[in-house]
Chains A and B, each alone.
Chain A
Amino acid sequence: MRRVVSLFLPTWSTDRVRKVDPALPPEAPLVLLGRDGRRRIVLAADTGAQAAGLRLGMPASLAQVMVPGLMIRDADPASDRRGLERLALWLHRRYAPITAPDSPDGIVLDTTGADHLHGGETLMLSDMTGRLSAAGFAVRAAVADSWGAAHALARYRAKPITVAPPGAGTDMVAALPLAALRLPVETVHGLHALGFIRIGDLLERPRAPLTLRYGVELARRLDQILGRIDEPIEPVRPSDPIMVRRAFAEPIGAAETIARTLSQLVVALCPLLEARGLGARRLDLVCHRVDTRPQAVRVGTAMPVRDPRRLTRLLCDRIETIDPGFGIEIMTLAATVTEPLLARQTASVLTEDSPPDIADLVDVLANRVGEGRLYRAAPVTSDLPERVVRRIPALTPETAASWPGRWPRPSRLLAPPEPIETVALLPDHPPVWFTWRGVRRLVRRADGPERVFGEWWRRDAELIAVRDYFRVEDQAGERFWIFQAGDGEDAATGSQGWFLHGLFG
């Protein structure tokens, strides 16, 4: 199943101008002007200018009268296009093998076989939008089964992130207005006059009369949004790719043949990497099928790798995600992201074994479950149990740091802590009994309180917040970590409610 991400950058031109020219005051509304014959008109307006009532196509003089203090720059569509291409190249390196600019204000990515590296589609989209917004670009993203559907969902739904589950895109698209179909404005107006408002109104209509009146474009766009006909994405290519390519006399389809070709491609790629002193961090395999629908596989490594055996293994692990269809004509393998990897001398110790290298296992697992899902825990200096653990990449150098082991800690931590009913003497006494998940437990033994203060340097609300932790044991010998929010006297220190936070072994 093909999955396409469409990114919509609603104020791309103005955001780009602001990025290039940091001297522009960020709060002042900005418009970009261009020529329409002899008139100067507004070609792009940022969010502030649009909120002030400026519209695209408005004469420049009128805009200046309407908004005092309006910042004005000349529009530069060629630079916008080049900028979009550079952005597409960055997204290509970071996210997906097949990426293209979708002029004038978007990017389209075929993320089939690439989202696993980012922990699934939702996480990948939020990572994309997060990074772009942090860079100062307004962005909305959608993923669907076809370019048309993703394009429409990104532009005509107000949500920053839309994920249309596989096969469910049609229902979500049907509710969108006709303008989402990427049709000429006149066609949309004509359809409105006939009473068609939403895409869903058109889906069940006979095609012949519509085609007779509006041409084949309407039917083509409808089929594209439903994913019935293919819409190839012409991907951007880096200027100097490290790439090997193999074309077949006869289309191939069997998994064994693909695996064999893969290992040949990897063996051909490694000398190219070696000649430049590089190791691969991301490998893109693109299989061009006879029906022109490319199938892409992307694998990542935690450290630069140039070992043909390891790279072949990583790629062969993902062969099952390639759908050969009627056969594959061309296979290309490119090292999209590379890092320097030079020969280095290893210290040889004769007396003891060096610790086994597990980098290859980490790569295999990270490509299966996603890099974010494979981690080590690292200690954080904090008093709050929720904050003492930080996730770090699995191959981070060892630090031998650990948590202070003065107090026993539970082996399972509930997130969030669950409220319990208790009867307890206040303050500073453990409960006599408590009820958790409908079971009442008598407390036989208890240790505590261990007082934890809020971290006032993080949030104002924690300035005087307090928790009193107790380790309690019930009559059956089960041990729990419970706390009271507050010190039991001052209402400002917490809600005085009791919570169960962890289970001891």
Chain B
Amino acid sequence: MPDTRTPPALDALRARIARIESGGGHGRSMLPFGIAEVDRRLPGGGLALGALHEVAGGGSDATHGSAAALFAAGIAARTVGRVLWCITRPDLFAPALAQAGLPPDRVIYVEAGDERAVLACSEAGLRHGGLGAVVTEVARLPMTASRRLQLSAEKTATIGIALRRWRRPAEASDFGQPTAAMTRWRVSMLPSARLPVPGVGRHRWRIELIRCRAGESADFELEACDASGRLAVPADLVDRPGAQGRSRAAS
């Protein structure tokens, strides 16, 4: 069996590169999802704080961003401090954010007129450092804009989430363009968990990690955020034969 551990010299080199990249700022820390399957795929074992992450909806949700918004809300809910949510279209429904773990006291909305103003506002929010997360709803995220957001976030421990949302589904091809974000996620909706009675069960998402700096892409099938913003592994997946060995070993 080949040894999968990386040599210590390589680890030291990676740490040094990370230090140089962060410009001698604060030591970067992580926000784990709390799901081993996901955290294993992310370098450092979680979403990097003080970095920009991109989230978009899949399929027709690319225009509404309803699942993507909840995914972002779940991440923001697990940070500490206020959350700045920069929007151009005021169609976000605050009670749903409260159900995903973001109580109304924590979220400050900025309704900027256009995307340039949205980007400028979120840059100011990331630079300030007193916030837990900054969510930016934009359609276009050019390299320069994303680089500015990323650099602003790096100076602080604020997590930046660019929630990509387009006017038309055809424009979603823009999502393939390179940006300076650390990770890029796509959240699509799946049929909900099966219940023994008629009705809609816990919402379920296919979450694709499309791009991850210093990591590999992956996709997961997870259950939507609970009241504290945490995702969960569906029970039927936990029970599948391949997973049994792990669960038995854990118990």
Contact residues of A with B, CB < 8 Å? Answer: 355-358, 360-362, 364-365, 368-369, 373-379, 385, 388-389, 394, 398-403, 405, 408-415, 439, 444-447, 471-473, 476-479, 502-505
Near A by CB (< 8 A), chain B positions 84-99 give: 84, 91-99
Interchain CB contact under 8 A, B124 and A361: yes
- Given A411-B70, A447-B199, A505-B189, A368 contacting B120 (CB threshold 8 A): yes
- Number of A-B contacts defined by CB within 8 Å: 165
B186, CB-defined interface residue at 8 Å:
no
Q: What count of chain B residues pass the 8 Å CB interface test?
A: 58
Chosen A-B contacts, 20 in total, with CB atoms closer than 8 Å, are: A356-B81, A373-B112, A374-B109, A375-B111, A376-B105, A377-B107, A385-B93, A399-B105, A401-B104, A402-B103, A411-B92, A412-B69, A445-B200, A446-B198, A446-B199, A476-B191, A477-B192, A478-B59, A479-B203, A504-B66
B71, CB-defined interface residue at 8 Å:
yes
Interchain CB contact under 8 A, A364 and B61: no
Near A by CB (< 8 A), chain B positions 40-60 give: 59-60
Measured CA separation A369–B61 after assembly (Å): 28
Near A by CB (< 8 A), chain B positions 125-159 give: 125, 128-131
Residue in B64, B104, B121, B201 whose CB lies within 8 Å of A376: B104
Query: What is the distance, in angstroms, from A483's C-beta to the closest C-beta of chain B?
Result: 14
Near A by CB (< 8 A), chain B positions 61-85 give: 61, 64-71, 73, 81-82, 84
Query: What is the distance, in angstroms, from A291's C-beta to the closest C-beta of chain B?
Result: 31
B117, CB-defined interface residue at 8 Å:
yes
Kindly list chain B residues whose C-beta atoms are within 8 Å of the C-beta of A378. Answer: 104
Kindly list chain A residues whose C-beta atoms are within 8 Å of the C-beta of B95. Answer: 379, 388-389, 403, 405, 409
Interchain CB contact under 8 A, B111 and A373: yes
Chain A, residue nearest B190 (CB): A477
Measured CA separation A371–B71 after assembly (Å): 28
Kindly list chain A residues whose C-beta atoms are within 8 Å of the C-beta of B105. Answer: 376, 398-400
Contact residues of B with A, CB < 8 Å? Answer: 59-61, 64-71, 73, 81-82, 84, 91-100, 103-105, 107-113, 117, 120-121, 124-125, 128-131, 187, 189-192, 198-201, 203-205, 224, 227
Interchain CB contact under 8 A, A377 and B94: yes
Chain B, residue nearest A439 (CB): B60
Query: What is the distance, in angstroms, from B90's C-beta to the closest C-beta of chain A?
Result: 8
Interchain CB contact under 8 A, B198 and A445: yes
Measured CA separation A469–B19 after assembly (Å): 53
Interchain CB contact under 8 A, A473 and B108: no
Interchain CB contact under 8 A, A410 and B93: yes
Residue in A364, A374, A477 whose CB lies within 8 Å of B189: A477
Interchain CB contact under 8 A, A479 and B91: no
Measured CA separation A213–B204 after assembly (Å): 83
Query: What is the distance, in angstroms, from A392's C-beta to the closest C-beta of chain B?
Result: 9
Chain B, residue nearest A414 (CB): B91
Measured CA separation A402–B204 after assembly (Å): 25
Measured CA separation A361–B120 after assembly (Å): 12
Measured CA separation A69–B249 after assembly (Å): 97
Q: Which of A356, A373, A505 has the most CB of B within 10 A?
A: A505
Interchain CB contact under 8 A, A412 and B93: yes
Kindly list chain B residues whose C-beta atoms are within 8 Å of the C-beta of A379. Answer: 95, 104
- Given A356-B81, A369-B113, A405-B98, A505 contacting B66 (CB threshold 8 A): yes
Query: What is the distance, in angstroms, from B164's C-beta to the closest C-beta of chain A?
Result: 15
Measured CA separation A445–B102 after assembly (Å): 28
